[in-house]
Amino acid sequence: MNNQFEQPKISFTKHTGEEKQEGKRTAEVKVLSEISITHGGLGEIFDTEVYFGKHPSGKDIIRRFIVKKYFNTTFSSAEEGARNALEKYVLAKNCGLKVFRTFRIGEDGTSILMTAGSLDDKICIGSNSSINMVFLKQPLIKEIENMDAFLLDFFREQLKAAQQGIELFTDNFFFTISKKEPRTVDFVLGDLDNLKKVEHLKQIAFQNASCAENVLSNELSSKNLDPKLRSKFEDRVAFFHKKIREEIRKDDTLK
């Protein structure tokens, strides 16, 4: 593992900026190692090991995090990319949406440190990414133990977002999948770059729900599920999509 940070010690600040206040615990950490996982449209993703200092017992505190380093594109600078991601994170978190627990901006202004969705026995797959079970050399998913609970939760998140005036986009979601069969699947809004604040409209809720259906059938299912599971999964997706559409129709909080 090598370290591509020019300064191995870097501080990552929460959106509240509270680590910068005197007397608060410093957020300066040391990035011990980093491995590039993938290049996206806006940034490069690194799996990192971060040193936080010493525990009172004298033991070193080292944790794995993901660092997304934004780069300049024709549309935005690296600084704008990282700043936008942090703002969208705050917006989604304040709306009660499911986001990573940690999401901080680096003092370089161009990198984001966030919870690793792929720790221990879990795999993390973006809803629009080239990272999938085949790419990760993992066997395709044969069974999802919590299929209905996961689908209901996932479609409800779309309605919840619309009730808060949030339009979701196909690349926002990450799926976390247990490595062992029977698998459990969960999701998090992990790539927030394209999330948008809009009006509280029914049309947005329907659009969010269609986006979810598309991501489940065209990304999660086709690239990660064993062919024998696909039709059963897609039937359940259709069932929960229909159910959420009924809930949206009846929802008086949306115009």
User: Residues 27, 40, 50, 225: which binds ligand ATP (CB under 6 A)?
Assistant: 40
3-state secondary structure of 167: strand
Smallest separation, CB 35 to ligand ATP (Å):
12
Burial 55-85 (b: 16+ CB within 10 A, else e): eeeeeeeeeebbbbbbeeeeebebebbbbbb
Residue 114 binds which one of ligand ATP, Mg ion, none, with CB within 5 to 8 A depending on kind? Answer: ligand ATP
Considering the complex, state which of residue 150 and residue 174 has its C-beta at the smaller distance from Mg ion.
174
Task: Tell me: does residue 219 bind Mg ion (CB under 5 A).
Answer: no
3-state secondary structure of 41: coil
Task: Tell me: does residue 124 bind ligand ATP (CB under 6 A).
Answer: yes
Considering the complex, state which of residue 122 and residue 200 has its C-beta at the smaller distance from ligand ATP.
122
Q: Are 27 and 12 in contact (CB under 8 A)?
A: yes
Q: Are 83 and 110 in contact (CB under 8 A)?
A: no
Residue 118 binds which one of ligand ATP, Mg ion, none, with CB within 5 to 8 A depending on kind? Answer: ligand ATP
Task: Tell me: does residue 191 bind Mg ion (CB under 5 A).
Answer: yes
Considering the complex, state which of residue 40 and residue 117 has its C-beta at the smaller distance from Mg ion.
40
Distances in Å between the Cα of 79 and the Cα atoms of 51, 68, 161, 166 are: 25, 12, 27, 23
User: Residues 171, 186, 213, 219: which binds Mg ion (CB under 5 A)?
Assistant: 171
In order, the DSSP letters of 14-38 are -TT-GGGSTTSPP-EEEEEEEEEEE
Name the H helices within 95-226.
147-163, 202-214, 222-224
Candidate segments 11-19, 33-41, 141-149, 209-217, binder of ligand ATP by CB under 6 A = 33-41
Q: How far, in Å, CA of 16 to CA of 99, rounded? A: 16
Residue 38 binds which one of Mg ion, ligand ATP, none, with CB within 5 to 8 A depending on kind? Answer: ligand ATP
Task: Tell me: does residue 131 bind ligand ATP (CB under 6 A).
Answer: yes
Q: How far, in Å, CA of 44 to CA of 4, rounded? A: 12
Candidate segments 37-45, 56-64, 156-164, 207-215, binder of ligand ATP by CB under 6 A = 37-45
Q: Are 164 and 158 in contact (CB under 8 A)?
A: no
Smallest separation, CB 138 to ligand ATP (Å):
12
Smallest separation, CB 41 to Mg ion (Å):
7
User: Residues 34, 141, 183, 190: which binds ligand ATP (CB under 6 A)?
Assistant: 190
What is the chain's length? 255
Task: Tell me: does residue 112 bind ligand ATP (CB under 6 A).
Answer: no
With residue 10 as reference, give the H or E element that holds it. strand 9-13
Which chain residues interact with Mg ion by CB under 5 A? 40, 171, 191
Which chain residues interact with ligand ATP by CB under 6 A? 37-38, 40-43, 45, 66, 68, 114-118, 124-126, 128-129, 131, 171, 174, 190-191, 193
